[in-house]
Structure 1
Amino acid sequence: MSPRTDERVRTLVVEDDRTIARLHRGFVESHPGFVVVAEAHTGDEALRAVTLFDPELVLLDIYLPDTTGLHVLRQIRRRPGPPVDVIATTAARELDTVREAMAGGVQHYLVKPFTAAALRERLDEVLRFRAGVRAVHGELDQAGVDALVQGRGPTPTLPKGLSPRSLDRVAAALAHAPADAGLSAAEVAAATGMARVSARRYLEHLVACGRASVDPRYGGTGRPENGFRPV
């Protein structure tokens, strides 16, 4: 099998209303960190899509024509392999339903109708959580466990070669990032007087800690560069 080159989070949209499914698909695909690999409109289609496409994130409706999203959630949790992140996207507001969904391990619960901005905020949190988990090696301390239980990625320790003082300088520079474009690693390097490669390491650490977000910046020639913003 060839190595995976697309680092976007593979997403399955489960929604019985095809018009809403297309809308939610558009919301997801407007985020550069995610790609929709399939849509499903019934519980049976959803479970087959999970097997066929191996998604990393599922947007899951609760009201489905052949079963409930809660049943689909239970089946997803029983399958082998890495855990799948789940965001409930539903009109279901009953307390028992919400509690069962949370007990089943949904990361977020969005009540329809919701805006693209509301979903994007949850997608950003999914990315921060995944980045924090990837950065952890070995056992967690109590703070890391608490962060995981609360749905946040454990805060990784400062990697070798990075200093707290320089990290604070980068964070201070990032605090002045333009809201529309952020700051590139080169711009942060110029503002702090450090090398570009060093600035990038600190910025990537801030993203992993959930203290910064990153999006591609377009407008010039050649490949887009990443723009970093404080969270």
Structure 2
Amino acid sequence: MSEMRVLVVDDDFMVARIHSGYVARVPGFRVVSVAHTGADALAAVEEFDPDLVLLDIYLPDMSGLEVLKRLHHVDVLMISAARDVPTVREAMRGGAVNYLIKPFTAAALTERLQQYADTHRRLTAIGAEARQDDVDRLFGTPKSAAPMPKGLSAATCALVADTLREAGHDLSAAEAAQLTGLSRVSVRRYLEHLCAAGQAELRPRYGTAGRPEHRYRWLG
């Protein structure tokens, strides 16, 4: 596979430098340019023809979501502190290949970049036409996924899953609710679904008295 060319877009010069450093550590990826405004990002895409854009949402001249709508023939990984579900949903509808909530670690970005590279390898290996099982693997469709319970949304479930994964340790429903901005009752339903899907596990913590505290840990 040829080297992946990456454009980093962030209004904060230091953050852009940090993210560029993260990318540089991942074999097979190279930062070809950095932009700090939406207009500069659009110009850089035309000039450098990157394979992937790491795109922030909060830019000084326009929203990164608006930039996303104007980008064609280039893949976009959204990187933002915005964690509200409407924003995440709009990014998904706009065609973003992934969404990473700030602040994140180098390991978290590395995982997304490796997933992106793996998808490209699979597409190349498929050839001219894909079978349904090829498409299922590309889109991450599990062979026996737990059905999404009524009243739960995939976008919100992804937000809760990302929050649990990025925590790096177990969380209670209340702690996860504070991090996501959702209600504790709502978060608990998503956590229970993730456990049923085999992506998380329930770990009771026993105190000195009373019922044990339910805590959840990401399994992936």
Is the counterpart of residue 45 in structure 1 residue 40 in structure 2?
A: yes
Is the counterpart of residue 137 in structure 1 residue 127 in structure 2?
A: yes
What corresponds to 1:22 in structure 2? 17
Once the two structures are superposed, residues 109-142 of structure 1 have per-residue CA deviations (whole angstroms, 9 ceiling, x without a partner) of: 1100000000000011011001111111122111
Distance across 1 between alignment mates of 2:107 and 2:133? 30
What corresponds to 1:33 in structure 2? 28
What corresponds to 2:69 in structure 1? 74
Do 1:9 and 1:33's aligned partners in 2 also have CA atoms closer than 8 Å? Answer: yes
- Displacement of 1:7 after TM fit? 2.5
- Displacement of 1:32 after TM fit? 1.6
1:96 is matched with which residue: 64, 69, 86? 86
Distance across 1 between alignment mates of 2:69 and 2:138? 20
Once the two structures are superposed, residues 132-178 of structure 1 have per-residue CA deviations (whole angstroms, 9 ceiling, x without a partner) of: 111111221111222334499xxxxxxxxxxxxxxxxxxxxxxxxxx
- Displacement of 1:58 after TM fit? 0.4
Paired residues, what number?
Answer: 142
- Displacement of 1:31 after TM fit? 0.9
Do 1:129 and 1:151's aligned partners in 2 also have CA atoms closer than 8 Å? Answer: no
CA separation of 1:45/1:119 partners in 2, compared to 1, >3 Å: closer, same or farther?
Answer: same
CA separation of 1:127/1:49 partners in 2, compared to 1, >3 Å: closer, same or farther?
Answer: same
Percent of aligned pairs sharing the same letter: 52
CA separation of 1:150/1:124 partners in 2, compared to 1, >3 Å: closer, same or farther?
Answer: same
What corresponds to 1:175 in structure 2? none
What corresponds to 2:118 in structure 1? 128
Do 1:107 and 1:151's aligned partners in 2 also have CA atoms closer than 8 Å? Answer: no
What corresponds to 2:6 in structure 1? 11
Distance across 1 between alignment mates of 2:140 and 2:39? 31
Q: Secondary structure at the match of 1:65?
A: coil
Distance across 2 between alignment mates of 1:66 and 1:47? 12
Runs of 4+ more than 6 Å apart:
none
User: Which runs of structure 2 are paired with 1:1-231 in the superposition (5 Å)?
Assistant: 7-77=2-72, 83-150=73-140
Once the two structures are superposed, residues 77-109 of structure 1 have per-residue CA deviations (whole angstroms, 9 ceiling, x without a partner) of: 3xxxxx322111111111111001011111111
Q: Secondary structure at the match of 2:65?
A: helix
Amino acid at match of 1:92: A
Query: How large is the RMSD of aligned CA atoms in angstroms?
Result: 1.7
What corresponds to 1:217 in structure 2? none
TM-score using structure 2 length: 0.62
Do 2:122 and 2:138's aligned partners in 1 also have CA atoms closer than 8 Å? Answer: no
Do 2:53 and 2:74's aligned partners in 1 also have CA atoms closer than 8 Å? Answer: yes
TM-score using structure 1 length: 0.59
Unaligned runs of 5+ in 1: 1-5, 78-82, 153-231
Distance across 1 between alignment mates of 2:11 and 2:97? 21
